[in-house]
Structure 1
Amino acid sequence: MKRITASIILAALLMTTALTGCAAKGDTKEQEIKKVEQSSTAQTENTRIKIGIIQPVEHPSLNQIREAIIAGLEEQGLKDKVEIIYKDAQGDSSNINTIISQFVGDKMDIIVPIATGTAQAAAAATTEIPIVFAAVSYPVEAGLVKDMNKPEANVTGVSDAIDVRQIFDLAFELTPDIKTFGFIYNSGEVNSVAAIDQAKLYCQEKGIDFVEATITNSGELQQAAQSLVNKADAIFTPTDNTVASAMPVLASEAANAGIPVYTGADSMVADGGFATVGVDYTLLGRQVAEMVKRVSDGEKVSDIPVETMREYTKIVNMTTAKNIGVEISVELLKQIKTVE
């Protein structure tokens, strides 16, 4: 990894001053100083650590992660030592591959992919550049690592795996009369499939019926939601990027039917979902920044275990609660975070 030392900078300044003096004897003292400063700035920029951040689509959850990563890097003292190149794939998987190829071609020092698909694309594109992923719920199932505790290649990061059982426990605490759950998710997202498998297992163990509707893009969400609200007493959707990108659509259909939507992320509750025991993505982003700092300091990726979230939060949307006629007890209000 690149390093900046006082002695290197001083030597560069002295050499540049000498060359400037020889090459342009007619320059004024001010002109010579300006040239030295410009040369020093260029050399400093060339020695900055280049970090490429990519997210699959613009969405509050993903934006929150990205912003927290950048803020976290500043908190880690890297503000003037890194050059951050951010790219958004705009919901197009082919753009993801193009952006990752650009990152590899531009010789990024670290690639930070947000979400599972972007992390998989990055891992497929390079085995040399360190990759620190953010918000990959199930890294093993996604084929990114074989062992969470000891990554064997160039990939590590922070998982946003949710505790599905905690979400369902909260669901039956808030709305105990649920007989049938509806699951809605993108069957092409590995993280979603893994979470839904856990949800099915929970329902089977508790003797709860469930129905499901799968989608491949956000344009299919409204029709899928309409098919579920007539069959289910409540809906569960995990940290699914496709659903999250159009969460207000699902929230609106469920509210019209008077049924709750339990989600895997706080931002999805903020977008109209009812409740979750979910991830605070600001905290996740800062964890990722800490990991990036370790890599930038020269620590081997294989020596940095994949981390999971340190904190989970019970979150309830009080506006949604009112719209679907659910009352929250005073005692529970003391234990949860509320959004409007």
Structure 2
Amino acid sequence: MKKRLLAALMAGAMALTMTACGGSGDDSQTGAPDADAGQTDGAADAGETYKVGIVQLVEHDALDAATKGFQDALTEALGDAVSFEFNNAQNDSNTCSTIVNGYVSSGVDLIMANATPALQAAAAATGDIPILGTSVTEYGVALEISDFSGTVGGNISGTSDLAPLDQQAAMLQEWFPDAKNVGLLYCSAEPNSQYQVDVVKAELEKLGYTCTLYAFSESNDLSAVCTTAAEASDVLYVPTDNTCANNSGIIDNICRPAKVPVIAGEEGICKGCGVATLSISYEDLGRTTGEMAAKILTGEADISTMAIEYAPATKKYNKTICDELGLTAPEGYVEIEA
């Protein structure tokens, strides 16, 4: 009887030990861009802790910078009280849904959705867990809100990467006043890209340009569509399009040898294939999102009343491509760092 009792006690002790090891709560950060950067130790002595799930559509410079800025700002605000679970959807909207459903099942305290398909997946998955979007161009378009006035309401808010589209059209005219045909290259699977090219096209037509939309549905079609666009255009415009950003090298390999300049909607695309951009800092955009998250998690702010926030835009140019194409930047442009 004593032997049985001793065996039972030992088994119970082993079970407790295994449970303690298995439930450590470590972050799952597969492919996370510097997720622990800036963490401070002991920021929450005995207070609440928070788990934040991050779903990022695809890996490229702009989205990576937004995620980094978000994590840095939120960690600076909450220290060890916050931990992150990061997942990259590899540019697949169905994978975004799988990731977000996992976060909902595990009961995270907040979801950060980086890019429009990630936001759409999060919005479809939960109406209760707070959702902050970032790198989303137009929330009304992304969430199909016909009378969008700047505040989504419910459990959703965030930050927008939209630089003024009329100013982007004016910038194209500033660089290429004598051009006649402008091709607008974008992925038709991204609703915010469609929104941008529609607005820019209308603005360019007011300025006297002949504009043609060149849409591709997936990255496998990009090369053929871009080649057609370059052959028929004096200059190309590329919006803040995730598929283009992830494949800017393809665009550059077609347009630069053909001497067709590209005006880009954001700095990452411009760095890869463009001559100029009116762009925001995605790291600053992410930091603003992280500051919003800190207020939501600590109860300082109600997400349902938080308006979408925007970042200031700066005129920048790609010196390497400009030099090769024989272009000189107008006054007021900042060189993109290599």
TM-score w.r.t. the length of structure 1 is 0.82
Match of 2:243 in 1: 242
Match of 1:308 in 2: 310
1:93 corresponds to 2:89:
no
Shift of 1:335: 4.0
Structure 1, gaps ≥5 residues long: 1-22, 24-37
Task: Please say if residues 264 and 279 of structure 1, whose CA atoms lie closer than 8 Å, have aligned partners that are also in contact.
Answer: no
Task: Please say if residues 153 and 306 of structure 2, whose CA atoms lie closer than 8 Å, have aligned partners that are also in contact.
Answer: no
Q: How does 1:1-340 map to 2 (within 5 A)?
A: 47-76=48-77, 78-143=78-143, 147-298=148-299, 299-309=301-311, 311-329=312-330, 332=331, 334-340=332-338
Q: Distance in 2 between matches of 1:219 and 1:276?
A: 25
Task: Please say if residues 148 and 306 of structure 1, whose CA atoms lie closer than 8 Å, have aligned partners that are also in contact.
Answer: no
Question: Identity over the aligned pairs, expressed in percent?
Answer: 28
Shift of 1:328: 2.6
- Give the residue type in structure 1 aligned to 2:320: T
Q: Report the secondary structure of 1:188's partner residue.
A: coil
Shift of 1:93: 2.1
- Give the residue type in structure 1 aligned to 2:268: S
Match of 1:3 in 2: none
Task: Please say if residues 114 and 136 of structure 1, whose CA atoms lie closer than 8 Å, have aligned partners that are also in contact.
Answer: yes
Q: Distance in 1 between matches of 2:261 and 2:323?
A: 11
Q: Report the secondary structure of 1:80's partner residue.
A: helix
Q: Distance in 1 between matches of 2:328 and 2:189?
A: 36
Q: Distance in 1 between matches of 2:281 and 2:117?
A: 21
Task: Please say if residues 144 and 155 of structure 1, whose CA atoms lie closer than 8 Å, have aligned partners that are also in contact.
Answer: no
Q: Report the secondary structure of 1:157's partner residue.
A: strand
What is the CA deviation profile of residues 263-302 of structure 1, one whole-angstrom value per residue up to 9, with x for unaligned ones? 1111111112111111210110111011101111212211
What is the CA deviation profile of residues 234-254 of structure 1, one whole-angstrom value per residue up to 9, with x for unaligned ones? 000111111111011112211
Shift of 1:66: 0.6
- C-alpha change, 1:191 and 1:174, in structure 2 (3 Å) is same
Q: Report the secondary structure of 2:168's partner residue.
A: helix
- Give the residue type in structure 2 aligned to 1:95: T
Match of 1:27 in 2: none
Task: Please say if residues 315 and 339 of structure 1, whose CA atoms lie closer than 8 Å, have aligned partners that are also in contact.
Answer: no
Structure 2, gaps ≥5 residues long: 1-8, 10-23, 25-41
Q: Distance in 1 between matches of 2:126 and 2:56?
A: 17
- Give the residue type in structure 2 aligned to 1:327: T
Q: Report the secondary structure of 2:136's partner residue.
A: coil
Q: Report the secondary structure of 2:139's partner residue.
A: coil
What is the CA deviation profile of residues 44-103 of structure 1, one whole-angstrom value per residue up to 9, with x for unaligned ones? 899420100110111111111111111111232x12110110000112222111101100
Q: Distance in 2 between matches of 1:219 and 1:317?
A: 26
Q: Which structure is larger by alpha-carbon Rg, 1 or 2?
A: 1
- Give the residue type in structure 2 aligned to 1:336: V
Q: Distance in 2 between matches of 1:135 and 1:144?
A: 17
Higher alpha-carbon deviation: 92-101 or 127-136: 92-101
Shift of 1:121: 0.6
Q: Distance in 2 between matches of 1:248 and 1:315?
A: 19
TM-score w.r.t. the length of structure 2 is 0.83
Match of 1:12 in 2: none
Q: Distance in 2 between matches of 1:115 and 1:46?
A: 32
- C-alpha change, 1:302 and 1:84, in structure 2 (3 Å) is same
Shift of 1:232: 0.5
- Give the residue type in structure 2 aligned to 1:300: D
- C-alpha change, 1:93 and 1:335, in structure 2 (3 Å) is closer
Shift of 1:324: 1.4
Shift of 1:193: 0.8
Task: Please say if residues 56 and 114 of structure 2, whose CA atoms lie closer than 8 Å, have aligned partners that are also in contact.
Answer: yes
